[in-house]
Amino acid sequence: MIARPLRFASFLAPDLLPVYRLVARHVGERLGLLTDLFVGDDYAQLADADVSFVCGLAYVELAGPGGLPLEAIAAPVLEGERYGGMPIYFSDVIVRRDSPFRCFADLRGRSWSYNEPRSHSGYGVTRHHLVRLGETNGYFGRVVEAGWHQRSIRLVATGEVDASAIDSQVLALAVRARPELSERLRIIDALGPSTIQPVVAGTWLSPALRADVQGVLLEMGEQTGLRAQMARGMIERFVKVEDGSYDDLRRMRAECAAAGLLTLR
């Protein structure tokens, strides 16, 4: 065990923060440890957290040999038939409901918003989709970095941007919180599925402590009271993942690199 608080960090969408506060608190209670959680605004802060909730693309780009000493230990399974009981998610391509766009091909030369370049759901999977289509740089007429999925949703809903790819979990939570969005937005495509964002632990923690944290996460879905709280984030349970679980993201990134398309600009 450690003498200081176990530090958690979230680098994911703000709408998910209440669930990850719950996770941090529950892990501390189960293991008899003090815990704290901070919101990361720079991936360098991954080195400051013992356990992080982070995008899969950031994990595969920053962790591993020569990178940050991080280990993927668990990932959420989302509620709904769409996810098939697997730790996966989609990127839903949204446009305004009253726009003329009906499919991805209609977006050539149009404006596009993404959250940030180490986001698989908003950036990595989009560039891979373009590679699969045989496209190169310049497909979109204008590309806007929004910072968060929620801002991309707002930019599309207000007509400031034509389209964006939004993490399907984040989009569902946004629509649940603001039902009027379903009347203002339309999904014209779904990219993926991709392996969902991991919970990662620093390998400076002892193997025993990493295993204990993982064990608590895997048990959370079995407890009725916790499941009701996790459902606020559409999370059914956590399952075990490992580094190789994110080889799909590595493959997509490698295909983009081979095609010379690592940027949407």
Find how far residue 168's CA is from the centre of its chain: 9
Per-residue pLDDT, averaged over 147-153, amounts to 95
Q: Using one digit for the tens of pLDDT, what is the confidence trace for 15-60?
A: 899 999 999 999 999 999 999 999 999 999 999 999 999 999 999 9
What does the pLDDT average to over 93-112? 97
**Would you say residue 260 has pLDDT above 90?**
yes
CA dihedral in degrees (139, 13, 145, 200; nearest 10)?
A: -80
| Res 3 pLDDT > 90 | no
Residue 65's pLDDT band (cuts 50, 70, 90): confident
Compute the distance between CA of residue 262 and CA of residue 128 in angstroms, rounded to an integer.
9
Classify burial at 46, counting beta carbons within 10 Å of its beta carbon; exposed 0-12, middle 13-18, buried 19 or more. buried
Q: Is the pLDDT of residue 265 over 80?
A: no
pTM, two decimal places: 0.95
Give the helix/strand (H/E) hosting 189. Answer: strand 185-195
Judged against a pLDDT cut of 70, whether residue 1 lies above it is answered with no
Answer yes or no: is pLDDT of 157 > 90: yes
pLDDT-derived band at 178, boundaries 50, 70, 90: very high
Tens of pLDDT, residue by residue over 237-248, are: 999 999 999 999
Taking the CA of residue 231 as centre, how many other CA atoms within 13 Å lie in the half-sphere pointing to its CB? 8
Residue range 186-200: mean pLDDT, rounded: 98
Region 3-7: what's the mean pLDDT? 87
Question: Which of 62-66, 94-98, 168-172, 201-205 is predicted least confidently?
Answer: 62-66
pLDDT of residue 136: 77
Question: From the CB of residue 103, how many other CB atoms can be counted at a distance below 10 Å?
Answer: 9
b vs e for 236-263, b when ≥16 Cβ sit within 10 Å of the residue's Cβ? bbbbebebebbebbbebbeebeebebee
Q: What average pLDDT does this structure show over 208-223?
A: 96
Closest CA to 122 of 178, 35, 60, 57: 57
- Per DSSP, the residues of 126-188 read HHHHHHHTT--TT-SSEEEE-SSHHHHHHHHHTTSSSEEEEEHHHHHHHHHH-TTHHHHEEEE
